[in-house]
């Protein structure tokens, strides 16, 4: 059994976090991961869709449910709470805290804290709030006061140090090869993860490029307390994501993604006619599109992204824009979440146990 600072701090069976991915929901995925002994994460990214009337297609809003972001988050938390009651699974939420998402974040995080304060089951098992894509400092007081374990996702040593100074209990160091929103600078996990481990005292989780026990063993060797997987969890049987997205991840190779500008910054997409249009729009507007500044909701980039999301929920392969990390090239099956989590941990244990036999000593 792999025991790390992540399993001890959060109370997990396995040192594996399921990423809170957008723009889709991860409600079923969070439940399945928590039931399997990992950390299941509810994604808050799409919960603001209903607040963007006239911008986000109605088809997209239906994915996340009716009501305010506060109401949607609480409804999803209740559902995951009930569906993990028998296993006593541990779960949490992920919320971007960038300027572009601030109005929604100011509903999602209080909704989560209120559930912890007013519900004994949530107090016990809704243990983690993950923030990402923005300044963590303004959220330090309310999250720490709530008693939740606070994890912040970072793309660099500088941001890891800032998160530690703000009081985060743990950081996720997310490498450039990951899917969806990625760092401004192309620093990949093999460099980023050990650099962050060396730079701060708080536990570090590796993200970006992880999909199996080999990756987990490597992350532990680099000083991490565990891994966070996104793309790998999309391609599972219980995943909320549409089947054509899962099938595409299993099909593509490691060179079949591209990076273009997204709402919060650069994003990694699966190559397709629709994502190529986003890439072409990014190139036309260089270098401005890759400056660290917000993109307006009426911009060409955002309109193309939203049309692409509409293609996902209407199952239109030609219109859909789908996200994945480079690691999709190593994913070849659609296991259950339980199978994935258990085999990842078992493979990592075997690698660690047998590693001495790989070294030739004189």
CA distance 342 to 213: 9
Residues 277 and 351 in one domain: no
Please tell me whether residues 46 and 158 are part of one structural domain: yes
Pair (219, 297) in one structural domain: no
| Interval 111-134 mean pLDDT | 96
For the record, the structure tokens of 127 come out as 């243990």
User: What is the pLDDT at residue 83?
Assistant: 98
Its sign, for the CA torsion 175, 179, 181, 185, is: positive
Range from 86-90, 165-169, 288-292, 342-346 carrying the lowest mean pLDDT = 288-292
Q: Are residues 22 and 159 in the same domain?
A: yes
pLDDT digit string, tens, across residues 55-96: 455 655 566 667 899 999 999 999 999 999 999 999 999 999
DSSP 307-362: HHHHHHHTT-TTT---B--GGGGG------HHHHHHHHHHHHHHHHHHHHHHS---
Question: Which residues of 66-113 form beta strands (DSSP E)?
Answer: 91-96
User: Strand 227-229 to strand 16-18: parallel, antiparallel, or no bridges (unpaired)?
Assistant: parallel
**Structural domain boundaries, residue 75:** 5-241+332-358
Q: Are residues 235 and 255 in the same domain?
A: no
Give the three-state DSSP class for 30: helix
Q: Give the chain's domain count.
A: 2
Residue 353 included in any domain: yes
Residue 154: closest CA among 177, 170, 138: 170
* Structural domain contains residue 320: no
pLDDT digits 0-9 by tens, 217-241: 999 999 999 999 999 999 999 999 9
pLDDT tens, residue by residue, 203-220: 999 999 999 999 999 999
Task: Confirm if 32 and 56 have CB atoms less than 8 A apart.
Answer: no
Residues 194 and 234 grouped into a single domain: yes
Q: Return d(Cα 214, Cα 228) in angstroms, integer.
A: 14
What average pLDDT does the segment 17-22 reach?
92
Evaluate whether residue 160 is within a structural domain.
Answer: yes
pTM of the model: 0.94
User: Cα–Cα distance between 202 and 311 in angstroms, integer?
Assistant: 41
Q: What angle do CA 295, 297, 303 make, to 5 degrees?
A: 100
CATH number of the domain bearing residue 118 = 3.20.20.70
The answer to whether residue 52 scores a pLDDT higher than 80 is no
Q: Calculate the alpha carbon distances from 203 to 164, 196, 233 in Å.
A: 10, 10, 23
Assess whether 237 and 252 both reside in one domain: no
3-state SS string for 240-299: CCCHHHHHHHHHCCCCCEEEEECCCCEEEEECCHHHHHHHHHHHHCCCHHHCCCCCCCCC
Is pLDDT at 173 greater than 90 in this prediction? yes
Q: Which two tokens stand for residue 175?
A: 């490498």
pLDDT given at position 251: 97
DSSP state of 184: S
């Amino acid at each position: 059994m792999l025991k790390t600072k992540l399993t001890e701090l959060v109370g997990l069976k396995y040192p594996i976090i399921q990423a809170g991915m957008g723009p889709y929901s991860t409600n079923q995925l969070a439940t399945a991961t928590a039931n399997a002994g990992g950390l299941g994460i509810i994604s808050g990214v799409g919960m603001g869709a209903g607040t963007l009337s006239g911008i986000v297609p109605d088809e997209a809003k239906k994915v996340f449910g009716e009501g305010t972001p506060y109401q949607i988050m609480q409804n999803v938390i209740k559902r995951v709470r009930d569906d993990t009651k028998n296993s006593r699974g541990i779960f949490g939420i992920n919320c971007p805290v960038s300027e572009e998402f601030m109005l929604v974040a100011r509903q999602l995080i209080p909704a989560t804290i209120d559930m912890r304060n007013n519900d004994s089951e949530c107090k016990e098992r809704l243990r983690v709030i993950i923030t990402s894509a923005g300044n963590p400092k303004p959220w330090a007081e309310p999250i720490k006061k709530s008693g939740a374990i606070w994890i912040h996702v970072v793309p660099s040593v500088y941001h890891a140090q800032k998160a530690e100074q703000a009081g985060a209990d743990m950081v996720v160091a997310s490498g450039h090869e990951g899917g969806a929103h990625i760092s401004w600078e192309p620093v990949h996990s093999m460099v980023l993860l050990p650099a962050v481990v060396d730079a701060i005292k708080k536990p570090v989780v590796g993200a970006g490029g992880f999909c199996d026990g080999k990756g987990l063993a490597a992350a532990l060797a680099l000083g991490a307390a565990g891994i966070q997987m996104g793309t790998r969890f999309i391609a599972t049987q219980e995943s909320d994501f549409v089947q054509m997205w899962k099938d595409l991840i299993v099909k593509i190779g490691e060179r079949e993604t591209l990076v273009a500008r997204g709402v919060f910054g650069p994003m990694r997409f699966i190559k397709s006619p629709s994502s190529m249009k986003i890439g072409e729009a990014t190139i036309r507007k260089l270098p401005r599109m890759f400056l660290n500044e917000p993109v307006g909701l009426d911009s060409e980039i955002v309109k193309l992204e939203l049309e692409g999301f509409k293609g996902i929920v209407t199952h239109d392969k030609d219109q859909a824009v789908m996200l994945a990390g480079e690691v999709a090239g190593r994913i070849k099956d659609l296991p259950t979440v339980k199978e994935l989590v258990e085999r990842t941990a078992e493979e990592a244990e075997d690698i660690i146990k047998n590693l001495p036999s790989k070294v030739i000593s004189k």
